[in-house]
Amino acid sequence: MKFNSKLIHAGYDSSADSQGSITPPIYKTTAYQFNNTEHAASLFALQEFGNIYSRLTNPTVGSLENRLTELEDGAMCVALSSGTSSVMYSLINIMSQGDNFITDTQLYGGTFTMFTNILPEFGITSKKVDTTDLDLVEKSIDKNTKAIYVETITNPGLVVADIEGLSKVAHSKGIPLIVDATFTTPALQKSLDFGADIVVHSLTKWMSGHGRVIAGAVIEKGGFEWGNGNFPLYDTPDTSYGGMRWGHDLGDLSGVAYSLRLRTVPLRNLGANMSPETAFEVMSGLETLGLRMERHCQNAKKAAEYLSDHDLVEWVRFPGLKDDPAYELSEKYLKGTGGTMVVFGIKGGKDAGQKFIDNLKMFRHVANVGDTRSLAIHPATTTHSQLDDEALVAAGSPPELVRLSIGIEDIEDIVDDLSQALDSTK
Ligand SMILES: Cc1ncc(COP(=O)(O)O)c(C=O)c1O
């Protein structure tokens, strides 16, 4: 099946359902009856796959996991309670005290805080560098570096990552490239096909689209050599799992060692599982992802062109504009669309930015992106208000920056709303 068909059909077979339900039923159960003690023992020993307890697996969540695996051209997926828990688990699944990873200076705010304040409490540190500079990335890798981690498009700077280039650097050092593909979704970029090893999603955004649930997932490409000596968690016997050496003892399943460990170690013992209701909601939204992304991208381009010509606009960043610094990367990694986000600098700085937001009528003023609705925020007075002007610039979010997540409404209404809100700042 091709992409848009997979969005609707992959991962769930209605003819195999006892009632023939055309949408995956919501299995509201905590536990699953074993056939006998032998069956229970073989499930626990990973000799047989099957349901034990809904923190570990659930059939509704499983349908979503299978669908996401197919959509990303991956080998296995673990769905989780949020994008945030997915970021965290994707890293702690391969790192422990004393380890570090390379990441960018520009990251989603919650991820930045996790990397700067939370993970170091557990002895895992990040080296934040400009990841568009591949030489710098390579030089920053040391013997304790376990991964390169980037966002496919940064927020709010809209820097497009060079996935192929970064994966080559990572693989030359025997470490994986992990990407947060929330801003691209597999409709714009198949990150695993470009060389990434692990994809992380906040499914809260474009993947669901309706703005009703918080959800996340981690998808593995499969085949990475986790037993290559760089990952002690995959070499030494795991006392929490019957002495399993995850990088060596899995036989035919060794290609998905990362996902099996993610499910049976962090997920089983820390518990950020997705509920079946949430999986159902995500799958409902996913059905229209292809159509929505097409419309999001068309609207974003038109909004960016409109803003570029406006007297009250200082500058516009949209990777799909020919003079944008990310234009070439957008051609390669975003199917030439430029994506769905537009950021711009408003004349009059912070005060004008605030006034613009207060006067928007159809755009919703929220700390979110990726909804069917058009959304706007002025980071300097909200998400980044703790930073002074110098720090705002360093975070890729100067005081005059306004961030727009362009929705799928009629473009005339989007432009009208931008126009009247800009006029109010005169
Ligand atoms: C790029 C990115 N990654 C991760 C997250 C966290 O996702 P969630 O809100 O689902 O925990 C967000 C949230 O805005 C995000 O924008």
- The CATH number that applies at residue 404 is 3.90.1150.10
Instruction: Give per-residue pLDDT as tens, 385-415.
Output: 777 888 788 777 888 899 999 999 999 999 9
Number of domains within the chain? 2
Report which of 237, 249, 151, 247 is spatially closest to residue 200, judged by C-alpha positions: 151
Cβ(152) to ligand 1 under 6 A?
Answer: no
Average pLDDT over residues 64-84: 98
Out of 258, 285, 312, a domain closes at 285
Question: pTM (2 decimals)?
Answer: 0.96
Give the pLDDT score at 300: 98
Residue 57 has pLDDT above 90, yes or no: yes
* CA dist 120 → 115, 127, 230, 331 (Å): 7, 11, 20, 37
Task: Give 407 Cα–ligand 1 centroid separation in angstroms.
Answer: 18
Angle of the 411-423 helix axis to the 349-359 helix axis, nearest 10: 130
- CA–CA dist 371, 364 (Å, integer): 10
* CA dist 21 → 17, 24, 26 (Å): 6, 7, 11
Ligand 1 atom, smallest distance to 85 CA:
11
Q: Are residues 231 and 259 in the same domain?
A: yes
Task: Give 239 Cα–ligand 1 centroid separation in angstroms.
Answer: 33
Cβ(370) to ligand 1 under 6 A?
Answer: no
Q: 186 preceded by cis ω (within 30°)?
A: no
Q: Which residue has its alpha carbon closest to ligand 1 atom 15?
A: 108
By residue range, what is the domain housing residue 391?
289-423
Contact 92, 174 (CB under 8 A): no
Out of 285, 320, 343, a domain closes at 285
Q: Are residues 130 and 224 in the same domain?
A: yes
Task: Give 84 Cα–ligand 1 centroid separation in angstroms.
Answer: 6
Cβ(214) to ligand 1 under 6 A?
Answer: yes
Q: Are residues 258 and 326 in the same domain?
A: no
Q: Are residues 198 and 67 in the same domain?
A: yes
Average pLDDT over residues 66-86: 98
Q: Which residue has its alpha carbon closest to ligand 1 atom 14?
A: 368
Contact 316, 307 (CB under 8 A): yes
Q: Are residues 293 and 205 in the same domain?
A: no
Mapped onto helix, strand or coil, the DSSP state of residue 118 is helix
* Sheet (strand 76-80) strand order: 76-80, 216-220, 198-202, 177-180, 145-151, 100-104, 125-129
Task: Give 108 Cα–ligand 1 centroid separation in angstroms.
Answer: 7
Q: Are residues 215 and 310 in the same domain?
A: no
Among 118, 204, 214, 274, say which to mutate for ligand 1: greatest number of ligand atoms within 8 Å of CB: 204
